[in-house]
Structure 1
């Protein structure tokens, strides 16, 4: 590929959002009604603002009479699970804003879970001719969308615990992986977070659970201020490293701390509740809430500071964290020009 392309930031103008819907043959079976209620709220907030690309083996009954039905483009497709952020295309744009669709291998976060059907979703979508762009097969490299953050200007933010995990690309060194990412995404620098984790997280510390790039050289991140919390030391080290990061112009980033979500548990296990797992849309930011009015409101205030021109909308994601993910994890945005049905 010629180096006339870039990896757009999430706040780049979008054409649609993808949801991969839960069903009875997924790990959601035991709580399907509960999680479908969460997905319905999420679909409502998305589809009343911009087109929704819906992937599932069958069209969900719960959506058949939805007033925003005409904003949903449904693709019938076998699926293992619902984590569109990690099995979806990662999209580049060339200098003329034409899309390049990168299809990386998804192996269930290091072969922890079955992913054979999810790993074929991109191919099926492309064959349906609903996505504009040049298809590029990147399946010789394992990469999940939740593990990387781009500012659209040549900087990538990621975590070493995930990208260097032996259950991903174990034959490659850190230098190999950095060189690959710089070449593939036409990057100028990679910011590696060495610390930071959430109990109950299956992803080996995806960056979208910890720290997010935002406009105007801003980073929003999870801050833990309770020394008795098990996350305190690692998140404190992460915060110090964020303070050391510099933009391509050599300036420090504007850092905005999000509150640490109150501990949530299921069957005695702590769940990875995080306010960093928000979705940036064209005119809104959808963020997860956890029935904690004080902290939910504090997170909204921080996000309003980072995105003053967007509406900040909370969605109760207590259902999602029971399967160890949250709002950003189940969505994937596509830049303007990708979704053929939106043109």
Structure 2
């Protein structure tokens, strides 16, 4: 078996499947349960057209209900695996494993410590999910636990030695308070096989619980292309920070010294929570790349079309699939936050054969 160094795979690497975590009826989604279930259903239907989907469900009754529902909707049994596993919430991006590959093709899943974004929310069951799935023979490769506190939404890679992230998240004292920036960099470089880390010092979203996850702000679309959110409204409180972030992105260079191709994503109209009026973190950067397609969050906003067109330029060889996510931002996340890609060689295909 190969040993480190592995390298972190980019999201566009061929995938075995897409991971989702179904909401608990008694969890934070309770007031919006029907709406979030409808959104999750749309994600499963869209993704299953292209690849397998694995969904963790909270109990046997939900599992049976979803089996019947997705069969009625025509999802092939060989494309969907429902696994009963107890969880706290739905954010698979942050409690899911990260796929890495060795030079000889050996795969591994890195299972980082998830603390509910620095202890903001309960996370014990979510933190144990990857190991619970391992116990149910879901994975086709080794799972390597990591003590480092890290969420998948906090990092982006080009798969060629570069990591993109934010200081506000990875260096936040609520994550790894005893580690310096140099020590965090050392851990990331060792685990992910990256040679350099591009740190953003600016950029944020009101209503975001993640302390500025990179996947809400700027995303690698290919080795030379970054899509990012831009706010042109000088009266918006985000304008200065996002303008400064844009300047940072323009100053970044590829390993060959060339600037990145930057694709600006539009700024949706202000979305407010209908209960207390606080601002919700709507962002078009929270898209999900799967085999042959890109799932893009939309918000019933005039800017939706502009965002879809911009990402069509970033991904000319993939279908652009809109997924309405206005209900998702009510719990301060969006589409990418709900999903985790599982690279080729990480899912046990026998489990899907059992389900067929």
Range into which the TM-score falls when normalised by the shorter chain: over 0.9
- 1:29-108 counterparts in 2 under 5 A? 29-58=30-59, 59=63, 61-66=65-70, 67-70=74-77, 71-108=79-116
Count of residue pairs the alignment pairs up: 341
Contact 1:213/1:220 (CA < 8 Å) preserved in 2? yes
Alignment partner of 2:313 out of 305, 319, 325: 305
Aligned to 2:6: 5
Task: Give the gaps of 5 or more residues in structure 1.
Answer: none
CA distance in 1, matches of 2:211, 2:91: 15
CA distance in 2, matches of 1:23, 1:121: 14
Q: CA deviation at 1:62?
A: 4.8
Are the structure 2 counterparts of residues 286 and 108 from structure 1 closer, same or farther at C-alpha, using a change threshold of 3 Å?
same
Q: Deviations over 1:4-27 (max 9, x none)?
A: 421110000000000000121210
Q: Deviations over 1:309-342 (max 9, x none)?
A: 0000101100100000000000000101111126
Q: Which moved more, 1:92-101 or 1:198-207?
A: 92-101
Alignment partner of 2:241 out of 223, 234, 250: 234
Q: Deviations over 1:112-145 (max 9, x none)?
A: 000011010000111112211122110x210000
- 1:132-151 counterparts in 2 under 5 A? 132-138=140-146, 140-151=147-158
Contact 2:4/2:191 (CA < 8 Å) preserved in 1? no
Q: CA deviation at 1:48?
A: 2.2
1:333 counterpart SS class: strand
Aligned to 2:26: 25
The answer to whether the aligner puts 1:268 opposite 2:277 as a matched pair is yes
Q: CA deviation at 1:69?
A: 4.9
Q: CA deviation at 1:60?
A: 6.4
1:301 counterpart SS class: helix
2:82 counterpart SS class: strand
CA distance in 2, matches of 1:312, 1:123: 33
CA distance in 1, matches of 2:99, 2:223: 22
Contact 1:40/1:63 (CA < 8 Å) preserved in 2? no
Aligned to 1:180: 187
Aligned to 2:171: 164
Q: Which moved more, 1:215-224 or 1:234-243?
A: 215-224
Contact 2:207/2:278 (CA < 8 Å) preserved in 1? yes
Q: CA deviation at 1:218?
A: 0.2
Task: Give the gaps of 5 or more residues in structure 2.
Answer: none
CA distance in 1, matches of 2:205, 2:125: 27
Contact 1:20/1:84 (CA < 8 Å) preserved in 2? yes
The answer to whether the aligner puts 1:296 opposite 2:334 as a matched pair is no
Are the structure 2 counterparts of residues 251 and 164 from structure 1 closer, same or farther at C-alpha, using a change threshold of 3 Å?
same
Q: CA deviation at 1:241?
A: 0.2
Q: CA deviation at 1:82?
A: 0.1
Contact 1:223/1:260 (CA < 8 Å) preserved in 2? yes
Q: Which moved more, 1:236-245 or 1:17-26?
A: 17-26
The answer to whether the aligner puts 1:112 opposite 2:113 as a matched pair is no
2:124 counterpart SS class: coil
1:269 counterpart SS class: coil
Q: CA deviation at 1:97?
A: 2.1
- Aligned alpha-carbon RMSD (Å): 1.3
Contact 2:24/2:88 (CA < 8 Å) preserved in 1? no
CA distance in 2, matches of 1:47, 1:222: 28
Q: CA deviation at 1:91?
A: 1.1
